[in-house]
Amino acid sequence: MRELRADLAIAGGGPSAIAAACAAAERGEQVLVIDRQPAPGGQIWRGQTNEWHERFRRCGAQWLGRAEIYDAAPGMTLMAQAPDGPAAIRAGRVLVATGARELFLPFPGWTLPGVYGAGGLQALVKSGLNVRGLRVVVAGSGPLLAAVAAQLIESGAHVLRVCEQAERTQMTPFFRYVAMHPEKWLQAAELGLLLAGRYQTGVWPVAARGAGKLEAVELSSGETIRAEALACGFGLVPNVELAQLLGCDLAGDGFVKVDEKQRTTAPGVFAAGEVCGIGGVEIAIGEGLIAGGASASLDRSFRGVLAAAFRLRGELRRLPQPSTYVCRCEDVTWSRIEPFDNWREAKLQTRCGMGSCQGRVCGASLGFLKGWPPPEPRSPLAPVPLESLASE
Ligand SMILES: Cc1cc2nc3c(=O)[nH]c(=O)nc-3n(C[C@H](O)[C@H](O)[C@H](O)COP(=O)(O)OP(=O)(O)OC[C@H]3O[C@@H](n4cnc5c(N)ncnc54)[C@H](O)[C@@H]3O)c2cc1C
């Protein structure tokens, strides 16, 4: 197995990782950034270039793209499956900057072709998918919905409705925070103008209907909208599995526990960005800079504002019907999972969470539906060739 060495190995290549890499490399550290994506940028800067990309290019950090980190071993070693085979990355310290993924909740028809993750459809559009003329409903929860809707409109799609499950009154502190921060206010005002008449609060999808592909979306309000695509996501969940393999403790809210220097509870392991809390790109960059050794003053209060404003309503626990798939990798329906009261039993008896996503989708949704703590991550974190495991 190929061996790579660095002073600082960064898992993930999003804004927090780029900021950390720049801060550390500019101070003379040998930095290696590893990401499954072909280019640096993470979720928000996918397919774009900006001044951070330029600074990253100049800072001298090494980039290992299209590389999936699937394991971690004691002594700061990460295992990655790169295009030219597996690599063992040995580093003086590790920064976990693995970001977050979308939370999907199962409802009748959510596995129909034409139903996408909201961020998933956005990523496809950023990668060149043509959505011109496509009739789309965007639904679920969180500020990502508005960003996705805006991107779809700019790309020529007909966004018919944006449905936010939270009530407007619950979102008041969010609007108040935005109004007090000029850069956020400007962005919100632009989105508000673009989405005027289409953004609805207190409404969520209860079913996706169609023969073989999506034809209509049924809403909790009783309305049915004819659409070719539904872009749906109920907020974000942190990608904490690698941090857990490295021995980092999680806080009570499920994010990686860090101190003011972004140190985790595992010696030599740092964490930054959405893996420590959902709060947007500015906080991710600030935490990255701190983890990379720079000083930055940082207000993280937006995280609490977001969590309260977009808290999921209890009615969403009644979305799945007996025949609704909860684990779509292993075709396990709600009626088969519902009787169990813990993950382990459900997994052993139904194979729920044992498919190729290894519970990353159904584990998070069952965390909400049943209150089950997510399953303990096990290596390999992602499917890899047997020969990679054998060569460890
Ligand atoms: C789907 C999605 C879309 C979003 N779109 C927007 C938007 O339009 N506007 C907006 O303001 N905010 C958006 N956000 C929020 C935004 O991503 C964050 O505010 C910010 O980018 C977080 O930066 P980060 O560095 O913490 O993580 P990310 O940007 O999420 O970067 C994490 C990186 O880690 C990599 N990674 C994770 N695990 C592994 C592994 N095991 N092996 C290799 N690589 C790995 C991922 O490929 C990713 O590139 C989005 C978030 C998501 C999840």
Query: Higher pLDDT residue, 1 or 339?
Result: 339
Q: What is the mean pLDDT of the chain?
A: 95
What's the confidence (pLDDT) of residue 73? 81
Instruction: Record the tokens describing residue 128, joined without a space.
Output: 């060149």
pLDDT per residue over 20-66, tens digit each?
A: 999 999 999 999 999 999 999 999 998 889 999 999 999 999 999 99
Residue 150: CA atoms inside 13 Å, Cβ hemisphere, count? 14
Q: Is 155 left (phi over 0), alpha (psi -120 to 50) or beta?
A: alpha
Residue 17 gets which letter from DSSP? Answer: H
Q: What percent of the chain has pLDDT over 90?
A: 90
* Structural domain spans, the chain: 2-100+237-305, 104-234, 315-370
Ligand 1 pocket check: which of 32, 34, 98 to mutate, most ligand atoms within 8 Å of Cβ?
98
Distances (CA, A) of 13 to 122, 158, 181, 231, 291: 18, 32, 27, 25, 14
pLDDT band at 392 (very low <50, low <70, confident <90, very high): confident
What's the confidence (pLDDT) of residue 1? 87
273 alpha carbon – ligand 1 mean position (Å) = 9
Q: Which atom of ligand 1 is nearest to the CA of 18?
A: 25
Residues contacting 346, CB < 8 A, separation 6+: 337, 340, 352, 353, 366
User: Is the pLDDT assigned to residue 158 strictly greater than 80?
Assistant: yes
99 alpha carbon – ligand 1 mean position (Å) = 5
Range in 106-115, 144-153, 182-191, 261-270 the model is least confident about: 182-191
What's the confidence (pLDDT) of residue 391? 83
pLDDT per residue over 280-321, tens digit each?
A: 999 999 999 999 999 888 999 999 999 999 999 999 999 999
What's the confidence (pLDDT) of residue 145? 97
Residues with beta carbon inside 6 Å of ligand 1?
12-17, 34-37, 42-44, 68-69, 97-102, 119, 122, 144, 147, 236, 239, 242, 273-274, 280-281, 284, 381
40 alpha carbon – ligand 1 mean position (Å) = 11
pLDDT per residue over 318-373, tens digit each?
A: 999 999 999 999 999 999 999 999 999 999 999 999 988 888 999 999 999 999 98
pLDDT band at 75 (very low <50, low <70, confident <90, very high): confident
Q: What percent of the chain has pLDDT over 70?
A: 100
Give yes or no on whether 2-100+237-305 and 104-234 have one common fold.
yes
What's the confidence (pLDDT) of residue 180? 94
Assign a CATH topology to domain 104-234: FAD/NAD(P)-binding domain (3.50.50)
What's the confidence (pLDDT) of residue 249? 96
pLDDT band at 374 (very low <50, low <70, confident <90, very high): confident
CATH 3.50.50.60 correct for 2-100+237-305? yes
